[in-house]
Amino acid sequence: MYELFYWPTIQGRGEFVRLALEEAGVDYVDVARQPGGMARMLAAMDGADYPSYAPPFLKGDGVTVGQTANILLFLGQRHGLAPADEQGRLWVNQIQLTIADMVAEAHDSHHPVATSLYYEDQRPEAKRRSADFLETRIPKFFEWFEGILGRAGPKPYLLGEAVTYADLSLFQLVEGLRYAFPHALARIDASHPLLAAHRARVAARPRIAAYLASTRRLPFNEEGIFRHYPELDRADPSAP
Amino acid sequence: MYELFYWPTIQGRGEFVRLALEEAGVDYVDVARQPGGMARMLAAMDGADYPSYAPPFLKGDGVTVGQTANILLFLGQRHGLAPADEQGRLWVNQIQLTIADMVAEAHDSHHPVATSLYYEDQRPEAKRRSADFLETRIPKFFEWFEGILGRAGPKPYLLGEAVTYADLSLFQLVEGLRYAFPHALARIDASHPLLAAHRARVAARPRIAAYLASTRRLPFNEEGIFRHYPELDRADPSAP
């Protein structure tokens, strides 16, 4: 039994952990979504031997662990969502950290000045940053993912036949970008067929499909990492 | 013998790896700083079974590993720069990933719109973002580090008596911020005495001191992560 500590009203970074817990089929409590849970989370964040700078963090099985990629590193080894050998574990972690870099950039596309300010207070800057994100950054990252999926012949998952936590996170990343930038992603998706197929393949895995259809899956919204602001979504960002 | 692949003219993210290699006392070649090394790096980045999205990456001892925190995870286990137990390893990785988050924010303080643009093309945005970075973000991160150093009584290093790779990275982070924002950091340093003492303690370790005095240590400059633009450095960012 694990306790996941994360903000109760957004997918956010906690969603990458939720997807791994769901695919692993392990019992967990989403603490802050229970009655009194927010107070418990805020107390746990600071009071422990291993304080977290920010949610998400996870407790259970004798450990306390924070930082999304670190939680996944732990869960991957415990629950068969990563290879057992050192090179394989490092490679999955490397992909995950690259996904995390892109997630941070996706967040900053609507908050380029300060997390502490509203989007509306940084809209001109967000327009400039989103244009670059769509034109320069998404294509560069997507090309890297597409290359891994096509390396030595197309394969169903990033490492081959077996799904890893990085596959689940890549699904969430692409799904989030499709929510935030539907017009731009339709164009970009078309030129990255392996990545588009990968997203659909992860979504169809039985435990993931059941989770996505459940009330445990929060909807995307404009409080999370992936936000849909129509004025930032352009089918052709290089157009004037 | 390791081969480190990183840009040859900046400290950048490669510096976190260099510090760990130096403290571990292991042999390594800084490939791109050798004759013909840049071409070798660009070929290796893409051609391998484990392509890196960007430098740094490391080869040696039978593995290829990219992403700074992942390289350090590997080196920490191999060379005694992290605890051997699972909780200890996860905790050091958690701290390292939090340092990495702050490093990314330090970079974006001068490049809030796009890495592909010059600083001069995003100076107004950089002024807004830097003000928030100095006023809001540095204090929040520094409070977290200070809290860890003071937890259960002051201790020399983040985990206690033994130095880890996260200590070396925290030194580099604080050192870089002191270079970028000398006026602001003088003020902030004064209210975080444990962190200031920690920086000096790491700098005085024999292997680190020898490295810092050598030609292997590149100087900070305005091409790296930590850049000194006087107009972004304010002793009191809340002043009008």
Sketch out chain A's domains with CATH numbers: 2-78 (3.40.30.10), 86-204 (1.20.1050.10)
> Out of B52, B86, B112, whose CB is closest to A113?
B112
Q: What is the pTM of this model?
A: 0.97
What is the model's pLDDT at position B46?
79
Q: Which tens digit of pLDDT belongs to each residue from B224-234?
A: 999 999 999 97
Q: What is the ipTM of this complex?
A: 0.96
What is the model's pLDDT at position B153?
81
Residue B80 burial (CB < 10 Å; 0-12/13-18/19+)?
middle
Taking CB atoms and an 8 Å cut-off, how many pairs form between chains A and B?
111
B 138-167 residues with CB below 8 A of A? 141, 144, 147-148, 151
What is the model's pLDDT at position A234?
78
What φ, ψ does residue B237 adopt, rounded to 5°? -65, -15
B 99-138 residues with CB below 8 A of A? 101, 104, 108, 112-114, 116-117, 122, 125, 128-129, 132, 136
The B57-60 sheet, strands edge to edge: B28-30, B2-5, B57-60, B63-66
Contact between chains at A93 and B86 (C-beta distance less than 8 A): no
Distance CA B63, CA B233 (A): 41
B 39-58 residues with CB below 8 A of A? 49-53
Contact between chains at B91 and A50 (C-beta distance less than 8 A): yes
Distance CA A234, CA A159 (A): 33
How far does the CA of residue A76 sit from the closest CA of chain B (Å)? Answer: 13
Contact between chains at A69 and B116 (C-beta distance less than 8 A): no
- For chain A, 240 residues long, give each residue's pLDDT as a single digit of tens: 999 999 999 999 999 999 999 999 999 999 999 999 999 999 998 766 899 999 999 999 999 999 999 999 999 999 999 999 999 999 999 999 999 999 999 999 999 999 989 999 999 999 999 999 999 999 999 999 999 999 878 899 999 999 999 999 999 999 999 999 999 999 888 899 999 999 999 999 999 999 999 999 999 999 999 999 999 997 665 554
> Which of A16, A45, A90, A146 is best to mutate for the B interface (most B CBs within 10 A)?
A90
What is the model's pLDDT at position A237?
52
Q: In which residue ranges of chain B is pLDDT below 50?
A: 240
What is the model's pLDDT at position B234?
78
What is the model's pLDDT at position A238?
57
Distance CA B149, CA A58 (A): 22
Check: CB of residue A89 under 8 Å from CB of residue A82. Answer: yes
